[in-house]
Amino acid sequence: MTKLLLRKKLLTMGMIMFAIVLMTACQQNEETSTTNETEADSQGEETADEIAFIDSMDREVVLEGHPEKIVVLAPEFLKMIYDLDGEAVARMTTSSIPIPEAAEDLPELGTVNQINTEELVGFSPDFVIGAPNFHADLEGIMENSDIPFALLQMRSFDDVKEMAALMGQILGKEELADQKIQETEEQMKAVQDQLPSDANPSVVILNVTSQSVSVQRANTTAIEIGDLLHVNNIGKDMEASPDSQSSAPYSLETIVEEQPDYILLTIHGSVEAGKGKIEEELESNPAWNSLKAVQDGNVHIIPSEKYLSNPGFDYADTMQHMAEIVYPEVFTNE
């Protein structure tokens, strides 16, 4: 009887010890699982905060979350950022392209092609936006200073849509960016719906600086606006300049042969100096007056602020401006 009781006690104690061990093991597994889940969630949050993209020069750019100190060296992106309720801490200087009112008092770092890099680095920005044509040489300085740097460009409305989506993501304004693009597309369609179906006016677009005159042939804002308005650009078939596929050398002889309906002039830099060059190189040539566009009064200096920098969300406004010139019978100046 005593042995039987002893066996029962030992069996009971063994069962109790087994239960304790089992409960301890389960608790440890739960704690380990909870710890792993917490670590995974933490890692997921770090990855989610990171913004990575490829810029216009096929370079990967990585931002640690939404930047708070943005420096903008390209006018069209400064405008887009402020259109999306963002802001910058410093900017480039420009004389011919308007600056958003809210950005007028920002510190200026020099002209687009002459940026003061010492002052730029001194701002300790967490993101810098530059233009491939002007700021590619800043890549080394930005990398050495551990400053995220993107070279971005907008040449077409497709670029505008892509860059708006990117800026929306960077600023945390995705919905506003989508809304702006939708509104812009609707406004552009409203202009196109008014175009006459039986007209195809021809145009030549000239670049004028204080030193030279050239013909726009492809990949410019003015050319794409013309394409959207079904305008025939006579410069597209001219041979490209050795240093730029978007332009061709100025040839009055070729223009006289083509006899475009309209001549549009874009002045780069000083307007006064540009007008002087127009008088000197264009109007002083007797052959200039043989052009039908000149005789009909269809020579127009188009505003730099609409055509030299991508208009972004104002594409429809620039389309309306050109439409009033080349389709005067349909679009009236207000």
Task: Please state the domain extents for the chain.
Answer: 52-188, 196-326
3-state secondary structure of 286: helix
pLDDT value at residue 37: 47
pLDDT value at residue 107: 97
What's the whole-model pTM score?
0.81
Walking along the chain (334 residues) 10 residues at a time, the average pLDDT comes out as 42 50 50 46 51 96 96 96 97 88 96 94 97 94 96 94 97 98 98 93 96 94 95 94 91 96 94 94 95 97 91 96 96 68
Judge whether 52-188 and 196-326 match in fold.
Answer: yes
pLDDT value at residue 140: 95
Contact 144, 302 (CB under 8 A): no
Residue 270, CA distances (Å) to 124, 264, 277 in order: 33, 17, 11
What's the rounded Cα separation, in Å, for the pair 192 and 203?
18
Length of the chain: 334
Class of the 52-188 domain?
alpha beta
Nearby residues of 5 by Cβ (< 8 Å), 6 or more positions away: none
**Shortest CA distance to 313 belongs to which of 15, 41, 76?**
76
Render pLDDT for 69-115 as a digit per residue (tens, 0 to 9). 999 999 999 999 999 999 999 999 987 788 999 999 999 999 988 99
**Terminal-residue alpha carbon distance, the chain:** 116
What's the rounded Cα separation, in Å, for the pair 299 and 203?
10
| Element holding 184 (H helix, E strand) | helix 174-192
CATH number of 196-326: 3.40.50.1980
Render pLDDT for 181-205 as a digit per residue (tens, 0 to 9). 999 999 999 999 999 998 899 999 9
pLDDT value at residue 43: 37
What's the rounded Cα separation, in Å, for the pair 113 and 243?
17
pLDDT value at residue 95: 76
